[in-house]
Amino acid sequence: MVKKAKSPVTYAKMKGIVSYFTALIKDKKLRSSHPIYHHFYHSRMDFLRPEGSLSDDDRATAVCYSNPVREEPQSQVSAGDFDYLKVIGTGSFGKVFLATHRENGKYYAVKVLQKHIILTRKEERNVMCEHRVLLKTLNHPFLVKLHFSFQTKERLYLVLDYACGGELFYHLQREGVFGEARARFYAAEMACALGYLHSLKIVYRDLKPENILLDSAGHVVLTDFGLCKEGMSGRGTTRTFCGTPEYLAPEVLLQEEYDRTVDWWGLGAVLHEMLYGLPPFYNADRLEMLRNIIYQPLALKAGVSSAARDLLKRLLNRDRAKRLGAKRDLIELQSHAFFSPIQWDELVAKKIQPPYVPVLSGPGDLTNIDPRFTELPVPHSLGACEDHGANFPGFTFINENILSLTRGH
C-alpha cells in the first residue's frame, strides 16, 4: 500500500512535481531522445483530452444537453443559498466543501473553482468541458451527480451529491488490502461507470484513488472527470501526470495513440492495488516506476485467485489492441471469470448489497473524510452575494430531474 499523504495539495500534487522534474532533468540515463523526455519537455499533453464530444471544435459549438436544463436562470440558486461547513477535498483550481442548502436542508459537496486561477492558466475552456461532461452523465448510478452550477464574479460553483463514504482508498489505506469479493464489487461498479462513459464517447482516462468515492450505502461514485487536465500546458497537466503516474497506461506515458482502453488499464491498476496493496510496477523511485510501467513484465504474486490474476494480466496488457476491452469494451470484462459472481443488471440497479457500508451518523457525516481536509479553514466569503459573473457563459445550470428545493423532498 502506498502511503498517500493527504494535505491541502493532496498526494504528491505539489511536493512531488519539483523533485520529480528535477530527477528527470538530472537523470543521465534518460536521454533527450527518449519518449518520456520528449513527452515532458515538448508536449502540451493534449493527449489528456477525452476523445469524441470533447474536441476543440466541439467546445466551440453550442452546448447541447441531453437532460432538461434551464440555462442561466436568474438567481434561482446562488452561492448565498448554502452554508459552507467544512473543506472535504482540494483540487487544482480550488476546494470542495461540505455545504447545506439553507432552504431544503440537504447536504451537498460544492466544488468551488477560483476563476482567476483558471483564467491565469487559460483553462476556461477545459473547465467548461468538465461542466459539460457532468451534464451528460447525470443519470448513471456510479457517477457523481451535478445538482446546480452557478458563478459569482470570482468563483465557479459545482453543487454535487456529497459522497459521504469518503475516498475508496481512504478505506484501503486503513485496511491494507481488500478481500476479493470486495475488490470485485468495486471493480465491477467502476467498470460499469467507465463503460457508460465510453458509450458516450468519453474516455475517463484518469482513474485514480482520489477520484473513487463511496456513497452512504457503500457504492462507488466516480468524481472529477479529469477535465481540468485536458490539453493543459505547463504545470497543471504536469502535476496531474506526476501525481499519479502509477495508474496511467504506458501508451499515455509515451504519448502514443490511445483510446478508451486506457481506462481498462487504469481499472487494472486500481484492482491490483485493492488486491495487493500496491499499484502494479510500484517503486518508491518514481522514475524507476515509470520505467517499470513501460518495460517491466508484470509479476503477480500468489495470494489471489487465478481468475483475479488472469484479469489483471489482461487489463494490464501493454498492447492496447490485445487488452481486455479492446474489442467489445465493457462486455468483454463482464464475461471474464473473475466477475462471474456479479449479476450486472442488479449491480447497476444498486440491488446488490455493498460489501462494506460506511458507518455514518447522518448525511453530513465527516468521519470518512481525511481530517487534513476538514481542518482547513472555510473562507467566509464563499456565500457572499456578489454580482453574478458572466465570463463563463453557459455555466449556470439547474438539474430539473432532481430539483428539490423544498425541505422533505
* Catalytic positions, written as ranges: 206
Size of the site for ligand ATP (CB under 6 A): 21
Question: Judged by CB under 6 A, does residue 197 bind ligand ATP?
Answer: no
Listing from the earlier edge strand, what are the strands of the sheet with 155-161? 82-90, 94-101, 107-114, 155-161, 146-151, 397-398
Residue 54 is classified by DSSP as: G
CB nearer to ligand ATP: give 343 or 404. 404
> Which segment (18-26, 31-39, 207-215, 280-288) binds ligand ATP by CB under 6 A?
207-215
Q: Is 115 helix (H, G, I), strand (E, B) or coil?
A: helix
| Residue showing cell 500500500 | 1
224 near ligand ATP (CB under 6 A): yes
Least distance between ligand ATP and beta carbon 300 (Å):
28
**79 near ligand ATP, judged by CB under 6 A:** no
Q: Judged by CB under 6 A, which of 167, 189, 263, 273 binds ligand ATP?
A: 167
Per-residue binding string, ligand ATP, 92-121, x by CB under 6 A, is: xx--x------------x-x----------
399 within 8 A of 136, measured Cβ to Cβ: no
Neighbours of 254 (CB within 10 A): 20
88 binds ligand ATP (CB under 6 A): yes
Q: For residue 139, which phi and psi values (nearest 5 degrees)?
A: -115, 25
Any binding-site annotation on 115? no
- x/- mask, ligand ATP, residues 120-159, rule CB under 6 A, reads ------------------------x---------------
Among 151, 223, 237, 399, binds ligand ATP (CB under 6 A): 223
Closest approach of Cβ 252 to ligand ATP, in Å? 16
Cα torsion 329, 331, 336, 341 to 10°: value is 140
Nearest approach in angstroms of CB 64 to ligand ATP is 24
Cβ–Cβ < 8 Å for 100, 159: no
Question: What is the enclosing helix (H) or strand (E) of 92?
Answer: none
- List of residues 6+ apart from 246 with CB closer than 8 A: 2, 269, 279, 280, 281, 282, 289, 293
- Does 163 help bind ligand ATP (rule: CB under 6 A)? yes
Is residue 244 involved in binding ligand ATP (CB under 6 A)? no
Using CB under 6 A, which of 210, 246, 263, 273 touches ligand ATP?
210
| Angle (CA) 27 32 37, round 5° | 70
238 binds ligand ATP (CB under 6 A): no
Residues forming a β-bridge with 109: 98, 160
CB 168 within 8 A of CB 207: no
Q: Are 242 and 145 in contact (CB under 8 A)?
A: no
Q: Which positions make up the binding site for ATP?
A: 111
By the criterion CB under 6 A, which residues form the site for ligand ATP?
88-93, 96, 109, 111, 144, 160-163, 167, 210-211, 213, 223-224, 228
